A = this chain, B = another copy of it.
Amino acid sequence: MSQLIKQFTVDGFLTASECNAQKEMPLPMLVQRLIDVATLHANAIDIGYSRLVTFGATWVLSRVTLEIERMPGVNEPYSLTTWVESVTRLYSERCFALTTADGEVIARARTMWIAINISTRRPTDLTVIPNITAVINDRDPGVERRPRLKRVEGVGEVDRYRFRTCDIDFNRHVNSTRYVELLLNHWPVDFFDENRIVMFDIQYHHEALFGQEARVAVSDPDSDGAVAIEIAGEETPFVLASMRTQPR
């Protein structure tokens, strides 16, 4: 451990060109920023990709759970703070707080990361990294632990999409944020004028590749008002998600 920075913050400023139609930070941009800030913090405390590779391992994002009071608006400064909540043999949880210039927390996140062996693509034991648990910070993220997401059954009409060049990332899989876009695209732009996302939970399952076709299926709302969403290939789901919106 080169340094022990138990909390790491990156400041941002939301420009007009980054905003969505509702003049707010788009959800896919927030997910991208979570991943970027996680990467910068992991590098800073020397548990990043370049350290894991010396153990034949790499980080894979497994789940993102977000609770959102509001998103930053146009020309609004914001800060994104991250810390490591847990490290076990099989996974690490990393949490986030999105705050305004006044220090008010407007969104909270818990993410789950697994380390996989680069050759076998199977999970690998994180605790082989000396002293890795020393980075744990006991700050409470204020994010509910939700049950594991399930497949969406019995939905008739689905959207279809074939992954293309700009959807592909560094690992030649579909970029994590593209799934978020793809599932939001199920709704017309006007839906988000009238409703805001208050909870968003996404589990990454099988990695989609260039040229693969995805089906997007969305359930009816449950008793809490959350819809279940599945983006799947021919046989296996790429991601499962849950989203709750509220009238603005």
Interfacial residues, chain A to chain B (CB-CB below 8 A): 13, 15-21, 23, 26, 28, 32, 35-36, 39-40, 43, 49-50, 74-75, 164-166, 168-170, 172, 175-176, 181, 184-185, 187-189, 191-192, 210-211
Contacts and interface: CB of A to CB of B under 8 A. Distances in A.
Given A16-B170, A17-B35, A172-B189, 19 more contacts: A15-B35, A15-B40, A16-B49, A17-B36, A17-B39, A17-B169, A17-B176, A18-B36, A19-B169, A20-B168, A21-B210, A74-B170, A164-B185, A165-B185, A165-B187, A165-B188, A165-B189, A166-B184, A188-B210
Given A168-B189, A187-B165, A36 B15 contact: yes
B17 A32 contact: yes
Contact of A210 (B23, B169, B184, B189): B189
Nearest to A168: B21
A166 B36 contact: no
A164 B189 CA distance: 8
A84 to B, nearest CB: 18
Nearest to A190: B210
A2 B183 CA distance: 44
A39 B13 CA distance: 11
Contacts of A39: 15-17
A39 to B, nearest CB: 5
Contacts of A188: 165, 210-211
23 contacts: A13-B40, A15-B36, A15-B39, A16-B39, A17-B39, A17-B170, A18-B32, A18-B36, A19-B169, A20-B166, A21-B168, A21-B170, A21-B210, A23-B170, A26-B166, A74-B170, A165-B185, A165-B187, A165-B188, A166-B185, A172-B189, A188-B211, A189-B210
Contacts of A20: 166, 168-170
Given A15-B39, A15-B40, A40-B15, A21 B169 contact: yes
